[in-house]
Structure 1
Amino acid sequence: MAPPSPAVDDYLKAIYHFTEWQDRQITPSQLAGELGLAPSSVTEMVRKLAALGLVEHRPYGPVSLSPAGEQRAKAMVRRHRLIETWLVREFGYTWDEVHDEAELLEHTISDRLLEGIDERLGRPRFDPHGDAIPDAAGTVDREPFILLRSARPGHTGRVLRVSDRDPVLLRAVEAAGVGVGVTVTVQGPHTVRSGAASIALPEGAADAVWLTAG
């Protein structure tokens, strides 16, 4: 097993995130963009991750997690999302404030404390943004989904997830009255109906909101 390393864990988590809500694999250049690092640094780390058996990669090809890499990535994702949920429920954080705090805490809390948080929260399946929290065995429970931009007018679905990438967008989506669990009917890429109300969504929401597919 590869030794603990925050840098390694951040790479694996970024690869996992990229493929979690769509089917394309990530390229080294895209991974560099996700992490805000120089492509040369990412290329070198990908080689190291491949040597450790955590990723699969061929020159000029995409990067994918090996079974061992996926297991480790899910463990870190579990930590991050449980911490986010804990901060919202127990400390009054809003959903646009928790990401950076969780990034700091996920590498420092013990497994014992993480288990205690999970138990206290009632073993939550999803974090405040609607992202699935893997259980201790790495099992993920997620419904079939569709990105808002890809949903046809007339599609009715429950909001499954709102991306936490942009805190400003999160606040704008919330201010518009759209959140995880809200049922909406798509009117257009930037407009949905909730009940009798027509809601104009902020710029960027079409690529940041996922609905149930059925």
Structure 2
Amino acid sequence: MKNSLSQTEENYLKAIYSLSFEKNKRASTNDIAKKLSTKASSVTDMIKKLSDKKLINYKKYQGANLTAEGRDIAVKIVRKHRLWEVFLVNNLNYAWDEVHDLAEQLEHVRSETLIDKLEQFLEFPSHDPHGDPIPDKDGKIHLRKTELLSAAKNNVLYTIANVKDNSKSFLQFLDKHFLAIGTELTIVDKFDFDESVTIKLHSGDFLTLSKKICANIFVTIK
């Protein structure tokens, strides 16, 4: 089945997988359209096509989720995408804000043998440069307990685990303020007025972050 899928179909499966994972529910037509920067009418047409191929289940007004076969294909695409990101950052010296679009192209490589060898070459990384977990060869994903920085508590030592927003502008903002995966921080103050927080970094520096920034950073207790 997967060899008969177009890149566009694969992108839809990955988008539905991602949205279902993030929201823990079916992916709506509007959410899919926003995720893929396309029109809702185009999403409706593709949903019918994928449903006919038994790769998704769709209920009107309730959205879509993946069948077992659809999920298997989507997880394989996610695995390839994240392994390529690791390769680009670790071996070709790309910055973490430069790799997403390149990995979007490389994720459609068909050869599973190549991907297995790539994973072995990279020494079986568990997470990509943005902190997202990499599914193993069997499609299993090992999740760690994280929470959004916006929900974190004062005076607890946290480590940045991953980021929700992979956009170039957001990642460049984090770079500018020396915030990266593995950065240790403690919340020292929260402001009710705008829900911003002040954090103290391991270096001893203090930094005030907006509600929007905090809602896009996942942390784990150190």
Match of 1:83 in 2: 84
Q: What root-mean-square deviation, in Å, do the aligned CA atoms of Structure 1 and Structure 2 show? A: 2.0
Query: Is the CA contact (8 Å cut-off) linking 2:162 and 2:217 kept in structure 1?
Result: yes
Match of 2:215 in 1: 207
Q: For the residues of structure 2 that align with 1:25 and 1:199, how far apart are their CA atoms?
A: 37
Q: 1:97 to 1:45 in 2, by over 3 A?
A: same
Q: 1:44 to 1:155 in 2, by over 3 A?
A: farther
Query: Is the CA contact (8 Å cut-off) linking 1:160 and 1:210 kept in structure 2?
Result: yes
Gaps of 5+ in 1: none
Match of 1:193 in 2: 200
Residue type of the alignment partner of 2:168 = P
1:179, distance to aligned residue in structure 2 (A): 1.1
Larger Rg: 2
Q: 1:147 to 1:181 in 2, by over 3 A?
A: same
Q: 1:169 to 1:185 in 2, by over 3 A?
A: same
TM-score of the aligned structures, taking structure 1 as reference length = 0.91
Q: For the residues of structure 2 that align with 1:184 and 1:19, how far apart are their CA atoms?
A: 30
Match of 1:107 in 2: 108
Gaps of 5+ in 2: 191-195
Mean CA deviation greater in 114-123 or 157-166:
157-166
Match of 1:158 in 2: 159
Secondary structure, aligned partner of 2:65: strand
Secondary structure, aligned partner of 1:11: helix
Residue type of the alignment partner of 2:198 = T
Q: 1:25 to 1:159 in 2, by over 3 A?
A: farther
Q: Identity across aligned pairs (percent)?
A: 31
Mean CA deviation greater in 69-78 or 154-163:
154-163
Match of 2:15 in 1: 14
TM-score of the aligned structures, taking structure 2 as reference length = 0.88
Match of 2:172 in 1: 171
Does 1:45 pair with 2:46?
A: yes
Q: For the residues of structure 1 that align with 2:200 and 2:23, how far apart are their CA atoms?
A: 25
Secondary structure, aligned partner of 1:204: helix
Q: For the residues of structure 1 that align with 2:120 and 2:71, how far apart are their CA atoms?
A: 24
